Amino acid sequence: MDDAMDTPPVRGDSNDVGTPAADPIGAAAGPAIARGVGAVLAIPPSPAVAAGAISAAIDRTLGPDAGLVLIVSAEALLPAWGELVSLGGSLDSLVVAPTIGRAVRLVRRERGAVVVPPAVAAALLARSALPLEQVRILAVAWPELIADPEQLATLLHEVPKTATRMVLTSDPVGQAAFIERHAFKAPVVGPLAKPAEPLDRVRVASTPWSGRLAALATYLDEHDPTELVVWSATPHWAAEIRASARSRGVEVTLAHGDLVPEGHLVAFDPPPPAVLTALAAGRGLALMPPGSEDYFARLTRELQPVPLAGGSSEAEAVERERAQVRARIAAGGLRGSSLTLAPLFERHPAERVAALHALWREAGAATPPPPRATPTATAKVWASAGRKDGASVGEWFAFLTESLGLSRDDLGRIELRDTYTLIECAASDAERLAELLAGQSFKNRRLSARIDRGRERPPSDRRPPRRRAP
């Protein structure tokens, strides 16, 4: 595809252990995908683990025909999807579109695999920019990391039933209701298909997706092992990992799949339960990139953070900062902060950012509220699309906020009628809103809009006058 880099050869070594090319997840999901039933991949939150199965689904579903593969992914994992392009993974036609502008251009080609965050998917639908009839595969990647996965309900409803649906999740039990609603009868396959007993303790190091190689190098400098086993979901980092280790006099063995040889172990990607079990024996640590925190917490009773810094002085500073927020981390309840700040975890350690955000939010909650403002006069804007055009209140909100750039604070109640809609806003903003709406395309029709005066309503929405009793 235009935006993908040329695929380099897979860079492995004769010392590699395991066969990631033989994808058991794709093989298990293949028959159901071929029948059009779809599949639920119960896997760790790592796009590299899903790449083989999605690639097989594309081969089985599209064949030689053109078609669009839409992957709606939690925003925290977008950098990891980008790695599949830069490293030449099995999804060589995949493109990541984090913004609406780029996504519109890519989906118009009606072919290839496009990864978008949930907000962009909703905006594509609101703008009628998504060619629904061309979507051959729709995958929702790790809905447990999406703040409101139900915002995808309209998209999942409107995509043709002939499209293959896939759900990628590290928590199939917690997402049972979502799976039942949107991937009915799809088989659940993968290492997390059956609940596993929590492990006692695993040592973890928070690091951005793009910083894992540097974190591994720091770990080698600080702990100085003579031999090391590095587990990764794919062999595409093998050359860089091996070069970094050899420059420090460390012999490294690359492991994949469920095969974990004896020795000091580092998990480069969020690992499956079999690898976590080896880590729980105290043999090493797992790198914990953004989006994987809840996964590690579900599978272990205790996570032991291991600070990785660039030098001894920096390590001491990091430890002092950690001491200031350690009590807040131990208190838990950081899920909301983690989801809100997921993009920042590419630059900063996840626990510190999430804990500081939680403390900041709690401090704000303790501040006395400001004096209540005088109520603002409101008005309503009449727009020429309603229930009969297939519009819903949620789609109106998405269109107004995502496409027109309005804030929810600018909007009041939206009243949906058969042939038109009334949108409440501040009286001072009504004329501007009417001008913004006029001429826009919504639900495949060009809108007309005006300030509503309570008159000239379409007859279909007028209530007949009541008759007086004789």
Instruction: Name the CA radius of gyration of the chain, rounded.
Output: 26
Q: What is the pLDDT of residue 124?
A: 92
In the predicted model, residues of the chain with pLDDT beneath 50 are 1-14, 21, 310-317, 456-464
This prediction has a pTM of 0.63
Q: What is the pLDDT of residue 293?
A: 92
Distance from the Cα of residue 414 to its chain's centroid:
29
Tokens representing 364 are 């704000």
Q: What is the pLDDT of residue 323?
A: 57
C-alpha angle with apex 75: 329 to 24, nearest 5 degrees? 95
CA dist., res. 449 & res. 431, Å (int): 10
CA dist., res. 53 & res. 25, Å (int): 6
Beta pairing, strands 199-206 & 94-96: unpaired
Which of 280, 322, 321 is CA-nearest to residue 303? 280
Q: How far is residue 316 from each of residues 90, 174, 309, 311, measured CA to CA in Å?
A: 41, 39, 9, 9
CA dist., res. 414 & res. 66, Å (int): 39
The H or E element spanning position 231 is: strand 227-231
CA dist., res. 284 & res. 292, Å (int): 18
Tokens representing 70 are 């839409």
Q: What is the pLDDT of residue 78?
A: 92
